[in-house]
Amino acid sequence: MRMAELSSVSGVPVATIKYYLREGLLQPGERTSPNQARYGEAHVRRLKLVRALIDVGGLSIAAVQETLGAIDDQVSTHSALGFAQKGIAMPDVAVDEETRAWALSRFEGVAKEQGWDLCTDDPAIEVLISVMGAFRDLGHENLLDGLPQYASASRQIAEQDLASLAGMKSVEQIVESAAVGTVLGDTLLMALRRIAQQEVSHRVYGD
């Protein structure tokens, strides 16, 4: 199909499609003349994925590029999960050494209970340290009393995440599922947490 048809089938405006092509979010079509190209089902599918990562997952163009890069590189399942953390907007709060040591020591105790063998160059640990530092800095250190419960619930979520991938056959399917499941899954889990908070709050405090 031509660009105009790709636009009407996918619901994405032509100008946006051209922008995605320039940014490398969409693979080029097959050239049929110097200024025309033909697009196929793979383009429709990729456009849907890009829209979902941006609109539903809330990713930036740069984060979408990284996510698609991981899918296109057909990295291993273990690495596919690894890249997905790039989808977290990294807090740009400077954490001093004292805060860092305090947060790490506190989290290591929790991780040990979960049987986790922490990889200290994991960017997600940096994010965790920043949030822990922010809680303390704002005088809400008590919110960290729930860290063991949060870690335990997160482990259950992660086990389900991995179980969903286990039945898949092609590497492409596994990698795309890991990306979509992690990025869009974050939004799903935020929504479920809000719904559950309302339910628990209603039970505890009534109206």
| By the rule CB under 8 A, 124 interacts with a copy of itself | yes
Contact residue for a copy of itself among 1, 9, 21, 125 (CB under 8 A): 125
130 part of the interface to a copy of itself, by CB under 8 A = yes
Residue 33 β-bridge partners:
36
Compute the least distance from the CB of residue 199 to a copy of itself, in Å: 5
Task: Give ∠ CA 117-119-123 in degrees, rounded to 5.
Answer: 135
Least Å distance, CB 47 to a copy of itself, is: 11
**Residues near 43 by beta carbon (within 8 Å), at least 6 away in sequence:** 6, 10, 26, 27, 29
Measured from the Cβ of residue 84, the count of other Cβ atoms closer than 10 Å reads: 24
> 119, 121, 169, 170: which one contacts a copy of itself (CB under 8 A)?
119
Q: Does the footprint of a copy of itself cover residue 60 (CB under 8 A)? A: no
The footprint of a copy of itself on this chain (CB under 8 A) covers a number of residues equal to: 91
Question: Mapping DSSP to helix (H, G, I), strand (E, B) and coil, where does residue 119 land?
Answer: coil
Map the footprint of a copy of itself across residues 186-205, applying CB under 8 A: 186-202, 204-205
For the record, the structure tokens of 177 come out as: 């599922």
How wide is the angle at C-alpha 89 spanned by C-alphas 168 and 65, nearest 5°?
A: 55
Stretches 35-43, 55-63, 65-73, 97-105: which one binds a copy of itself (CB under 8 A)?
A: 55-63
